[in-house]
Structure 1
């Protein structure tokens, strides 16, 4: 608790913390409401809901080579600020397109808005790394996980609530307001030039094709040459499958298996259970991170969450399914806090944007591919139970992969550091 109080005394971090929260809410409420709008309007075409999620993940593959370079070469504060305000403007256009009711245009706008949002997170992560000391990274990771849990708890629930109460238009209007608030919070921050521009001043004109390719390549080579970093990131391929599956599986299992008549009501309850579970799990993970090796916490979280996800595929009771999902929610923060506290401590601040730019496409490629396959094969060839088995198995496989590889690499690094000390 003392660490949390201390970290919030940093006004820049506090503003970034709440800016990230409101920006995530802005990207969630309207999208959740739109998913339920599609499920209501096109009840016999679940592929539309999957395509909506695909428009959220696929743009990463279109801009992945730019986001990291931008975050390392341009003003990180301005990138985060402009992302929020541009997304607010696109939300307003979203409202106008709903009146025209041409689905390809709406999906196209969702693609563009998601592409813009991809520039926000590497810049924000690099700013957070710059304003905190290495001792605070794990605490910040725990707080970020709490933000995610609150946004799961209130974001999805509010998306459904706003859809019921204000309609799809009201939910999208709230999206727009959230982006505007986030933008003003970032605008009120003050960072040194070293944090905003760690690689010196550049303009968009300086970022020609050769420089973009050179910078992206340097980030990729930096990742490849760091054995620990490469091992951690390799697991993100399967994390993408998990994210892609979970983004639609929970609604599908309620609507098409467990509660077909009251799936919207149960979706809200499920969101509350999941959000509370992640919130409690985040607190537990933050405490454990001070007492347990991060790689042990990471492996335990993966194995427990994967087993509980497989359990969800095997039950026919809504109560038992929610119990299994609660266990998943409690254990996932062990994974996220471990990775969130670990990565900033092993990445050079000057390379943080480019490393994030390499991580996101790895995960989003598998996430987009998963959503595409779900849209094509569900429910004709793949059942909802099979989806849960696939996702749960991926979590377990990554857990065993890390269990086999990480201890060896960590021991090698410790041995190398001891040799350096002896030489000195």
Structure 2
């Protein structure tokens, strides 16, 4: 475990980690607080909450072809910093829109904030790849997983707490301050030019439609020509299906099977159980992932998480359901840490932004398809148990797919590297 935290000896990484932490924290707080504000303010019109959720997810479809290209062509440090400053300004505009109570303007601000945030992750991933050594990638992935699990565990509660105690304006102010702190941390980083601009210096004037389209195609060709990378990214489509299923399945099984009269209370407990499992799994995975091959860690995590998801469908009471889902959440960090530690080692730094730019739209498309499938099929001809079988089975299917493909392609990459060194 000490090796995981040894990456903080790198001052550049420490600042980038804190910047990412504060930026995420503000976003989690604002999303939770704003949802409760809408449910309180428009209790007779819950559709507003659904529209707000849509405003957080839709922007990826509007900007996905740009985010990777900009992260590879522009100054990555400036992209990450400016994303935070723009979100800071838009959050202030959102507060003004809430004050004058104009819902179309509020939704527009939410859409713009979410759209700008999509540019942050590819730029930051490219920077981290450049400032760390290959031996530190897995440790950094473990820390990111821990942060995500902590937000999963306490993020919503913190947002609700702030909303109850200082109101929507207080929560939004905390969000704006977190963006400003993140921007200042990134500005203080002195990052080598090769890391900031791996493809040379470009300006916004250079990013015409032709260049964007060509770069986007180049990213697709790069993925298609790398069998190992393609096999990994193919699994992300399945992960999107799983995310779509899990966004509604837990509340469904509570409402329609295990606790129909108390499903709201049990849903809160479920979030704590799942977040605790992910956090504990993150600690365990970070401790042992260096001792085994990353693809073994990935395959085992996928199989066991899928197995316990299927097993949870047979639970006849909440205790057994929580136990099975806790075991499933315990295995998930092994997958995330393995992928997060592996991707930077197999992707050319000059292409990291464009590869990252393909991941989110693939997952979002699969997630949307899964949600559409559930809305059409449940409960008309699919039972709640069968949804768990589909999602758990998908995870186990990916584990077997990776078991067949990844070792073979890994050996091919190792052999190719050996030949290149010999030459």
Asked if TM exceeds 0.5, the reply is yes
- Residue 226 (1) aligns with residue 226 (2): yes
Q: Map 1:366-377 onto structure 2 (within 5 A).
A: 366-371=366-371
Further displaced range: 306-315 or 10-19 = 306-315
Further displaced range: 374-383 or 393-402 = 374-383
- Residue 70 (1) aligns with residue 70 (2): yes
Contact between 2:72 and 2:352, CA under 8 Å: does it hold in 1? Answer: yes
> What residue number does 2:113 align with?
113
Contact between 1:58 and 1:364, CA under 8 Å: does it hold in 2? Answer: no
Counterparts of 2:164 and 2:378, CA distance in 1 = 27
Counterparts of 2:4 and 2:22, CA distance in 1 = 20
Q: Map 1:97-108 onto structure 2 (within 5 A).
A: 97-99=97-99, 101=101, 103-108=103-108
> What residue number does 1:182 align with?
182
> What residue number does 2:290 align with?
290
Counterparts of 1:274 and 1:214, CA distance in 2 = 42
TM-score normalized by structure 1?
A: 0.89
**Deviation at 1:61?**
1.8
**Deviation at 1:123?**
0.3
**Deviation at 1:139?**
0.9
Distance 1:264 1:10, change over 3 A: farther
Distance 1:44 1:332, change over 3 A: farther
**Deviation at 1:254?**
5.0
Alignment RMSD (CA, Å):
2.9
> What residue number does 1:134 align with?
134
Distance 1:159 1:258, change over 3 A: farther
Distance 1:29 1:244, change over 3 A: farther
> What residue number does 2:201 align with?
201
Q: Which runs of 5+ in 2 are unaligned?
A: none
Q: Map 1:298-313 onto structure 2 (within 5 A).
A: 298-313=298-313
Contact between 2:4 and 2:287, CA under 8 Å: does it hold in 1? Answer: no
- Residue 346 (1) aligns with residue 346 (2): yes
Counterparts of 2:172 and 2:323, CA distance in 1 = 32
Counterparts of 2:85 and 2:104, CA distance in 1 = 24
**Deviation at 1:187?**
1.8
Q: Map 1:159-174 onto structure 2 (within 5 A).
A: 159-174=159-174
Distance 1:200 1:420, change over 3 A: closer
Further displaced range: 118-127 or 16-25 = 16-25
Contact between 1:160 and 1:268, CA under 8 Å: does it hold in 2? Answer: no
Counterparts of 2:270 and 2:66, CA distance in 1 = 36
**Deviation at 1:109?**
3.0
Q: Which runs of 5+ in 1 are unaligned?
A: none
> What residue number does 2:407 align with?
407
Q: Deviations over 1:325-363 (max 9, x none)?
A: 221221111000110011000111111111111222111
Distance 1:5 1:77, change over 3 A: same
Further displaced range: 149-158 or 35-44 = 35-44
Distance 1:266 1:107, change over 3 A: farther
Distance 1:166 1:247, change over 3 A: farther
Contact between 2:60 and 2:360, CA under 8 Å: does it hold in 1? Answer: yes
Q: Deviations over 1:184-215 (max 9, x none)?
A: 22122111111111111111111111111122
Q: Map 1:314-325 onto structure 2 (within 5 A).
A: 314-325=314-325
Counterparts of 2:380 and 2:37, CA distance in 1 = 22
TM-score normalized by structure 2?
A: 0.89
Contact between 1:57 and 1:368, CA under 8 Å: does it hold in 2? Answer: no
Counterparts of 1:42 and 1:383, CA distance in 2 = 32
Tell me the secondary structure at the aligned position of residue 290 of structure 1: helix
Distance 1:258 1:66, change over 3 A: same
Count of residues in correspondence between the two structures: 423
> What residue number does 1:213 align with?
213
Contact between 1:299 and 1:400, CA under 8 Å: does it hold in 2? Answer: yes
**Deviation at 1:287?**
2.4
Contact between 1:157 and 1:272, CA under 8 Å: does it hold in 2? Answer: no
Distance 1:27 1:340, change over 3 A: same
